[in-house]
A = this chain, B = another copy of it.
Amino acid sequence: MSVINFIEKHRDQHLEELKEFLRIPSISTSSQHKPDVDRAAHWVADHLRNAGMQKVEVVPTPLHPLVYAESPRLPGKPTVLVYSHYDVQPPEPLELWTSPAFEPTVRGGNLYGRGTADDKGQVHIHLKALEALQTQHGKLPVNVKILIEGEEEVGGTNLWDFVRNNRERLQSDALVISDTSMLAPGVPSITYGLRGLNYYQVEITGPSQDLHSGLFGGAVPNPLTILSRTIAQLHDRNLRVSIPRFYDDVARLSPSERKALKALPWNEAEFRKTVGAPGLAGEKGYSILEQLWCRPTFELNGIWGGYMAEGAKTVIPSKAHAKFSTRLVPHQDPQKIAALVEKYFRKLLPKSVTCQFEVLSTGKPWLAPYTHPIFRAAADALEQGFGRKAVFIREGGSIPIASEMSDIFHIPCVLMGFGLPDENAHAPDEHISLENYFGGIKSAALFYERLATL
């Protein structure tokens, strides 16, 4: 039986096992789910052992463990390092899920549940591809090293300590990550560019305590209004970020790249439908794909303060809070941008309030030079796995590991993702297309086989 036939034959078994993995609520942002995060790490480790990997370790860190494994050494064969993450985003707001976030359910050709698309489903694709190769051939075709972390969604740094301390062990010829999306249904895609991400949190304090808005309103600084007014000044009327020097290092789009983006089989109507808003809103002078992939943003992710419950409370609160982020593109430097954002934000605030400004995480943008033969191997495997030519795309999300690993090891990095942009990663009703999940297992197996011939 060929590997592809083997994969075809085990579809039901693969799906049931993925559901088992998805039922573990490995929410890395929540300290109360720490035991579940640990459980997910051990689940991955156990299944790596069944997939021909040796030296499987669950490595403790000050926060969440990471899982590392190596296949038995095959001299003369290339070595590929596969990175992914087993942690997931919080499921809130819970009431917007059609079926419970941690009770995976199949509907209309999709599997629904937190982590289906981002990224447990894609972790499982590699586990099952390796298992198929191991079972059918008795060994893997190349040297495989696997590193699956539990802090991706929390912007954790413990991965980097591990990487720095294990540089020799991790040395490989190429890096493979499946944590991105395909351009459209049925269009296998290789991502060659990602945005970086800085995440911030602020607390604005006006009065030393909550005040009655009747007795005090009109003469005291309202931190909610001041926060709103400050945020409003961070974009201009063309929806360009107003922070001075924010665009200084942004790489200009070449006419040929703009042309290539325009030629992609990308469906704007489908995108508008996914967004579901009465209209779109983006930086003037750029196409939607350029806005999403090649331009930096300032985005508010959360805001809160004052009375938020049922009914009316006439209060001027002492404090207002916001969480926001900047997506970065080549060649913006995260540290430099963080300093610019904080400086300008503080400058906009009136003297009647104080501000606590925190940078929760920073992450570089990334752009791959896709001339290395491994990109060809990936494109061919995807074409065979899906029966359609693969495209080269960029993506607006952030995978810090891509740029950091490229910097540390100077090896090519292939982003071969099996999600879709409308699969609600980070939102209620997250799902993965079963067609892409099964096509992903086949493509990954074919990719490992092709790597052996490089």
Residue A46 lies at the interface, judged by CB distance under 8 Å to chain B: no
Q: Mark A260-286, 1 if CB is under 8 A from B, else 0.
A: 000000000001000111111111000
How far apart are the CA atoms of A296 and B219 in the complex, in Å?
A: 11
Q: Mark A189-221, 1 if CB is under 8 A from B, else 0.
A: 000000101010100011111111111111111
Q: How far is the CB of A114 from chain B (nearest CB, A)?
A: 12
- Which residue of B118, B197, B312, B325 is within 8 Å of A155 (Cβ)? B312
How far apart are the CA atoms of A209 and B321 in the complex, in Å?
A: 22
Known contacts A217-B297, A301-B315, A327-B218; is A209 also within 8 Å of B428 by CB?
Answer: yes
A282, A353, A398 — which one has the most chain B CB atoms within 10 A of its CB?
A282
A219, A310, A321, A352 — which one has the most chain B CB atoms within 10 A of its CB?
A219
| CB-contacts of A291-343 with B (<8 A) | 291-292, 295-297, 299-317, 320-321, 323, 325, 327
Known contacts A213-B301, A278-B352; is A219 also within 8 Å of B292 by CB?
Answer: yes
Q: How far is the CB of A101 from chain B (nearest CB, A)?
A: 13
Please list the 6 inter-chain residue pairs (A to B) with the smallest Cβ-Cβ separation, ordered nearest first. Answer: A208-B276, A214-B397, A232-B232, A29-B311, A302-B306, A279-B352
A197 to chain B: which residues have CB within 8 Å? 214, 314
Contact between chains at A214 and B277 (CB < 8 Å): no
How far apart are the CA atoms of A282 and B327 in the complex, in Å?
A: 36
What is the total number of residues of chain A having a CB less than 8 Å from a CB of chain B?
Answer: 103
Residue A228 lies at the interface, judged by CB distance under 8 Å to chain B: yes
Contact between chains at B217 and A299 (CB < 8 Å): yes
Q: How far is the CB of A278 from chain B (nearest CB, A)?
A: 6
Contact between chains at B220 and A195 (CB < 8 Å): no
